[in-house]
Amino acid sequence: MKFQQFKIWVNSFKPWLDKYSVPFWLICWTIYAVGFFTLFTSNENVFKFIFSSMFENPEAGPSMIVAVIIPIGGAFGIYLLNRRTKANENQYELARISHDFDKTTEYEKQLDEALDSLSPEATPISWQRGLSRIVGLIKHSPESFAEFGITQLIKIGETFSKMNTMTNVHGQVTNEWDELNTLDNPEHNDFIAEILDNIQLLHAFFVNENENAPNIMFENYTVHPKSKGSKHQIANGYFEGFMFSDCNFLGIDFTLCNFYDTVLLGDCNFNIHRSLLGNFSFGGVGGYNQDTVKIRSCYMWPLEEGVVDPDTVIAIFGSEKARHIKPLNYSDFAKWQNDPAPRQVISYAVRMETNQS
pLDDT digits (tens, 9 = 90+) for 270-290: 999 999 987 665 544 445 566
Sheet containing strand 217-219, edge to edge, reads: 217-219, 243-245, 263-265
In the chain, count of helices (H) and strands (E)?
11, 14
Got the DSSP string for 25-84? HHHHHHHHHHHHHHHHHH-HHHHHHHHHHHHH-TTHHHHHHHHHHHHHHHHHHHHHHHHH
- The pLDDT, as a whole number, for residue 226 is 84
pTM of the model: 0.68
Looking at residues 98-123, what average pLDDT do you find?
74
Contacting residues for 342 by C-beta, under 8 A, at least 6 apart? 200, 204, 236, 237, 238, 240, 258
- The pLDDT, as a whole number, for residue 289 is 62
Contacting residues for 16 by C-beta, under 8 A, at least 6 apart? none
Question: For 43-47, 84-88, 243-247, which range has the lowest pLDDT when averaged over its residues?
Answer: 43-47
- The pLDDT, as a whole number, for residue 286 is 45
